[in-house]
Amino acid sequence: MRILIFICLLIPGAAALYAQSPVVKVAVLVYQGMELQDFAGPADVFNKANTITRGAYQVYTVSCTKEVVYTDGHIGIQPDYNMQQLPKPDILVIPGAAISMPDSLSRDSTLLSLIRHYQDSVSVIMSVSSGAFLLASAGLLDQQAATTHFFLADDFVTAFPAITLVKDVRYVDIGNIITTAGATAGIDAALHLVERYSGERIAGMVARAMQYSPRREETWPQAPTGMDYKKDADVVCGMIAIDKNTYASYQGKRYYFCSEICKKTFLRNPGQYTVKQ
């Protein structure tokens, strides 16, 4: 015991590792069709922070019902609580869904009601990727700065002209609301929150445990015909097509692809994919 105390005194910040502090409760919203990485990245950050601090964080999931939720890749997750049972969180994390779903997210009255219900009772609401469409539709981002997945940037600006879109960043922090760019940017924002609550040293330890190099700024890719999902989505797989050299022309229209594999698949039977256009 004396050796442990001696080590804590010698290593700067080591004593803080074992200091008792109020538990930060983190609720992660889960819903049908959400992106797995949007959910798993931030949840893992806070879970590792809980381990390192020996109990300073409590992470749980919440859904509108207690039914199993299936992600975009059809991975099932059993939520810990429904919205009626949810213990009051300090942080509410709102994952995004597939980039083809912003319109349906914006019209999901049940999810919007949940967000509005907790907007004044939590310290921070954090959206990941297209989750910003939920916050914007709930009215939380009016006259504020925000970001979202780069591929949905133009759609976001068109849908929410009262919001200032910030580009070339991983996340935007306006105090009680944090919005992030796509997928792994949720890890950056979660580490940023761990630093806010537990300090730079703990956040650094979490990042090293995940073998992750956090950053705040990042130049966004530019899609060949702009930043419009409807124009630039790969018609074969629905993924982002940002390589201007990977394309095929069919019936007077140019189609871009995320890879040569999708391009070859398209060329075998173009009509199968263009009939959807």
CATH of segment(s) 23-209? 3.40.50.880
pLDDT of residue 232: 66
pLDDT of residue 225: 60
pLDDT of residue 226: 61
- Asked whether 42 and 190 are in contact (CB, 8 A), the reply is yes
Q: How far is 69 from 269, CA to CA, in rounded Å?
A: 35
pLDDT of residue 260: 86
Rg (CA), the chain: 21
Q: How far is 169 from 157, CA to CA, in rounded Å?
A: 16
As given in the structure block, the two tokens for residue 37 are 């990485």
For the chain, give every domain's residue range.
Answer: 23-209, 229-274
Question: What is this structure's pTM?
Answer: 0.81
- Asked whether 150 and 181 are in contact (CB, 8 A), the reply is yes
Q: How far is 8 from 63, CA to CA, in rounded Å?
A: 41
Alpha carbon of residue 121 to chain centroid: 21
Q: How far is 24 from 19, CA to CA, in rounded Å?
A: 14
Alpha carbon distances (Å) from 180 to 11, 13, 64, 99, 228: 34, 29, 23, 14, 19
Q: How far is 166 from 184, CA to CA, in rounded Å?
A: 17
pLDDT tens for each residue of the chain, 277 residues long: 444 434 343 444 443 444 445 899 999 999 999 999 999 999 999 999 999 999 999 999 999 888 999 998 889 999 999 888 888 999 999 999 987 788 888 888 989 998 998 888 899 999 999 999 999 999 999 999 999 998 888 889 999 999 999 999 999 999 999 999 988 999 999 999 999 999 999 999 999 999 999 999 999 877 666 666 666 677 887 777 767 788 888 888 888 887 888 888 889 888 888 765 4
Q: How far is 216 from 50, CA to CA, in rounded Å?
A: 23
Alpha carbon distances (Å) from 232 to 25, 117, 181: 39, 36, 18
**DSSP designation for 152:** G
pLDDT of residue 276: 53
